[in-house]
Amino acid sequence: MLVPPSTARAATAPPRPPDGKGKPQAPAPPPSMSTVGGSRLGQPGTQVNLMPGAPELPANLSGRSWIVADAETGEVLAAHNAHWRLPPASTMKMLFADTVLPTLPKDQVHHVTDQDMDGVGPGSSLVGVKEDHDYTVHDLWLGVFLRSGNDAVHVLSAMNGGVEKTVKDMQAHAEELQALDTHVVSPDGYDAPEQVSSAYDLTLIARSGLQKQDFREYCGTAEAKFPGHQEAGRPREYFEIQNTNRLMTGAGGVTPYKGIAGVKNGNTTMAGSTFTGAAQRGNKKLLVTVMNPDHGGLNSVYEETADLFDWGFAAAGKVKPVGVLVPPKGTDTEPYGSPAKSHENTPVADGPPPAGGGGLGTALGIAGGALAVVAGGAFVVNRRWPRGRRGQGA
């Protein structure tokens, strides 16, 4: 059953009384939420079915919402408030990319104008796009994925017909994906009233994006060169940029996660820290989303994600799924376990993708190749639509 879209609002409860120390308590999830993907996913609290021999969930989890899913089968191994509508921060850029990437040729050159940069909010994360300079679409996507550049998002939105059109395109694509908790207000994820998504939706969106080779390569890029000052008669200047995904780069004291392949992090005042990650261990590929941990600092979202990855890989085959990542509307289901028919799903050889223009460096290039990680271009998800679960809403 397809669940009709509804006007999405941040699902919040009345303020809770202060704790014993006089500090306000974290908001509580709503008593019932969307049941897209299964009825268990609409229940508040942690949902997991441990079978004999399964490891216990990590004890230190504080994310207001999180989910662990098999990237290929779509089975949800465990979840916590999966459909709680919360501010997404820059993880919204995954939906932006999944919507707009197919519409603009990578080698298209754009001359940036003042109007292109209208609406970039104060305090935005920026890659350093300059007005009256030329950039390729490829350059701008590097700015979006690596530096979470709102300036690059707004220029690409202008190329797509403007911010208003892009927001409408994103909302329509979210509804096509059955990401029905998601309400788009700004294409870059900048804090805005009623802009919300959920751990379930962000995972669904990431899974869709990972079907696209360009998306995989960009989200799996650890470092690159970005165009700088442009002066007539002189070579263009370039500067190094690094991915803000600390599980990939090890920045900020985070231990890089072996097998990481992307996807996107975010942090704003309203959203706190958010992160959706994809990782592979052996033949198993997992997706994890964590939204707004209540404890720790900026690194807690990465630490809790890593703990959930470890648990998911250890628990594979030892838990009964509590739900499923549904396919897009109108998708014909394949027999369970059969890869979707798409040229994007053609397996690629192990190792990094061929060296490309623009100084693209995959995650395999970090630490001299000593880090056992998966290049985004090699992380191919062969989606399998579970038979009889299409559009499941109960």
User: Closest Cα to residue 186, out of 83, 93, 100?
Assistant: 93
**Closest to 277 in 3D by CA, of 182, 351, 203:** 203
Distance CA 188, CA 157 (A): 10
Catalytic residue among 34, 93, 124, 198: 93
93 is catalytic: yes
Q: Judge whether 168 counts as a catalytic residue.
A: no
For the residues of 40-69, what is the DSSP string, one character each? GGGSSSEEEEEPTTPPPPPTT--EEEEEEE
Residue 38: what are its φ and ψ, rounded to 5°? Answer: 135, 150
The rounded distance, in Å, linking the Cα atoms of 124 and 145 is: 14
> Going by C-beta distance under 8 Å and a sequence separation of 6 or more, which residues neighbour residue 189?
88, 89, 90, 91, 92, 93, 96, 195, 266, 268, 271
**Which segments of the chain does DSSP mark as H helices, in order?**
92-100, 137-147, 150-159, 163-176, 199-209, 213-219, 246-249, 300-315
**Which of 65, 90, 198, 300 is an active site residue?**
90
* ∠ Cα 280 355 132 (to 5°): 110
Which of 254, 236, 235, 234 has its CA nearest to residue 245? 254
User: Which structure tokens are listed for 378?
Assistant: 């090699």
208, with CB counted inside 10 A (0-12, 13-18, 19+), is: buried
Place of tokens 């996913």: 41
Calculated CA dihedral for residues 44, 59, 295, 190, nearest 10 degrees:
-50
Angle value at C-alpha 102, between 98 and 107, nearest 5 degrees: 125
Q: Is 21 a catalytic residue?
A: no
User: 176 and 328 in contact (C-beta within 8 Å)?
Assistant: yes
Quote the DSSP letter at residue 6: -
Active-site option among 34, 65, 124, 148? 148
Catalytic residues: 90, 93, 148
